[in-house]
Amino acid sequence: MSGRKLPGLIAALASAALGLTCLPATANATTDPAAGAAVTQPQAVRLQDADLTLEVGGPPKTFSWPADQKNYSPMQVSVTAPPYTRITALDLHCTQGHQCPTTIADDGRSATGNFTVNWSFTDDIEVTLQATDDAPQQGGTFEGSISLGDQTRPITVTILPRTQPAVTACRKALDQLQVREGMCFWPQQDFQGQIFVRPRPSGTDTCGNINPAKSAVNLTRETRLLYAFARCDLSNFITQVEPNEARSQFGPDTTAQSWR
């Protein structure tokens, strides 16, 4: 290396060193690692697509607020459960030895969590929900919410009708009679009380009287009609039950006493 080039090299190294000492050195700086800009709230992101279909008596299921790999200042997570569900877990996936306390209400209707220091959003925030026993028999779609900082997103869940156990019971009862098709009835709404079975092959349309019933399962290949009194009078028509359908109630205190 020539003597004329050395001073230039020393000057370049000195300039580079000077540039490094000008960078912020605060340990708690909250910056976007990619752009270097301050980040105080998460971007508007949708909840992760997930199976949010629940069954009464079924297992809990989890949905996520997807991580965006950014750094944030302290903030709170708030969750409101959709109607007829309860929160069983709130996991902030707190890392780096930070304390991130979470609290779930005794009834499971709400939960909160807190990032108490600057944090990196590197793992999804997860909320686990379970359908409650008071969910409507016919099921339905219900909405709650989750808030992260000043961003709020809906939580939409579908609760399935509580009909599968009734269908299974009806199939078992028909199998015991060694028949493939028929109707099953219960004296109370929501498939409560002693089941009674009426075998009926498809292709038959005769009227049959039954003990008073408020729930029914149709395991034939045809639509079946229910009537409020005996003899299947058209003026007493209540409702129809489609093939493989379970009806947990026919109306407010409505009772069927004949069918075809």
Please state the domain extents for the chain: 53-159, 164-259
Is pLDDT above 50 for 239?
yes
| 225-235 burial code (b ≥16 CB/10 A, e <16) | bbbbeeebeee
Phi, psi of 89 (to 5 degrees): -160, 145
Cα(38)–Cα(257) distance, integer angstroms: 71
pTM of the model: 0.54
Is pLDDT above 90 for 164?
no
Contact assessment for residue 96 and residue 27, using Cβ atoms and an 8 Å cutoff: no
% residues pLDDT > 90 (the chain): 47
With cut-offs at 50, 70 and 90, classify the pLDDT of residue 24.
very low
Cα(230)–Cα(207) distance, integer angstroms: 9
By C-alpha distance, which of 256, 4, 28, 235 is closest to 218? Answer: 256
Q: Are strands 53-54 and 151-159 parallel, antiparallel or unpaired?
A: parallel
Cα(217)–Cα(31) distance, integer angstroms: 61
Q: Which CATH architecture has domain 53-159?
A: Sandwich (2.60)
Cα(4)–Cα(129) distance, integer angstroms: 73
Q: With residue 183 as reference, give the H or E element that holds it.
A: strand 182-186
CA-based end-to-end distance of the chain: 106
Cα(91)–Cα(100) distance, integer angstroms: 9
Is pLDDT above 60 for 36?
no
- Helix, strand, coil shares of the chain, percent, nearest 5, are 15, 35, 50
Over the stretch 166-223, which tens digit does the pLDDT of each residue have?
Answer: 888 999 999 999 999 999 999 998 888 999 999 987 777 899 999 999 999 999 999 9
Residues in the chain: 260
Correct CATH for 164-259 of 3.50.50.60, 3.30.420.480, 3.40.50.970, 2.60.20.10: 2.60.20.10
